[in-house]
A and B are shown apart, each in its own frame.
Chain A
């Protein structure tokens, strides 16, 4: 089955530093990847849609300059949290859709998430 790998699984950083999270589709090509944020015991909140070779589309209320997204290839998207603050601490999850089944019914495959803690 389709596998999405997310790295790192956990990261602790100091306030003011930047953190990069990688999302890779291991056995398929993903023209579109999504980045979510999730608070404890709550659902996923879509942050942005990452399109290969073009700028990401951000959801309302998500700061583009704070959450930098790069989708340089069909198998890799990165999310960089810049100048991190304690309130950025959260669980970040990426997902990707299988390119071959180009349909809105295509299921998404999720990474295992990254637990970010900013001290």
Chain B
């Protein structure tokens, strides 16, 4: 089972600030997904990256996939209170079974 390390585990910032969270593994990702989960709800898929070096943008969110496909980052520009949530990275495996990182709990303060 592939182990995913996410950092930081907790992050509290002010509205308008920028932030980056990371997801790393010692082995190559076949694919990598980023999810956001709000309290009391299920995770919502933000993006899937497959190709090494890939960069995807989703409004103020920028996702990068490392060239070696062992790491990924999520950068949020000008964070808003609505960005508050648990950010999870996951990696695909056989039979669609995903492995999740421990998550980054982001709090954006007004």
Which residues from chain A sit less than 8 Å from chain B, CB to CB?
A: 4, 6, 32, 34, 41-44, 46, 49, 91, 93, 95, 97, 104-113, 115
A104 touches B31 (CB 8 A): yes
Interface pair B42/A110, CB less than 8 Å apart: yes
B44 contacts A by Cβ under 8 Å: yes
Residues of B57-104 whose CB lies within 8 A of A:
86, 88, 90, 92-98, 100-103
Residue in B31, B40, B105 whose beta carbon sits within 8 Å of that of A113 in the complex = B40
Contacting B93 at CB < 8 Å: which of A4, A93, A104? A104
B102 and A105 contact, CB distance less than 8 A: no
From B31, B43, B44, residue with most partner A Cβ within 10 Å:
B43
Complex CA gap A115/B103 in Å reads: 20
Query: Quick check: A109 and B45 within 8 Å, CB to CB?
Result: yes
* A49-B95, A104-B93, A104-B96 known; A43+B45 contact, CB < 8 A: no
Asked if B92 contacts A43 (CB within 8 A), the reply is no
Give min CB distance, B41 to chain A, whole Å.
5
CA gap between A42 and B45 in the complex, in Å: 17
Chain B interface residues toward A at CB < 8 A: 30-31, 33, 35, 40-45, 48, 50, 86, 88, 90, 92-98, 100-103, 105
Q: Which among A6, A32, A41, A115 is the interface contact of B95 at CB below 8 angstroms? A: A32
User: Hey, which chain A residues are within 8 Å of B30, CB to CB?
Assistant: 104-105
What residue in chain B is nearest A49 (Cβ atoms)? B97
Complex interface: chain A residues within 8 A of B88 (CB): 43-44
Ordered by A's residue number, 13 sampled pairs between the chains whose C-beta atoms are within 8 Å are: A6-B42, A41-B86, A41-B105, A43-B88, A43-B100, A49-B97, A104-B30, A105-B30, A107-B33, A110-B42, A110-B44, A112-B41, A113-B40
* Contact flag A44-B50 (CB < 8 Å), given A104-B30, A108-B96, A108-B98: no
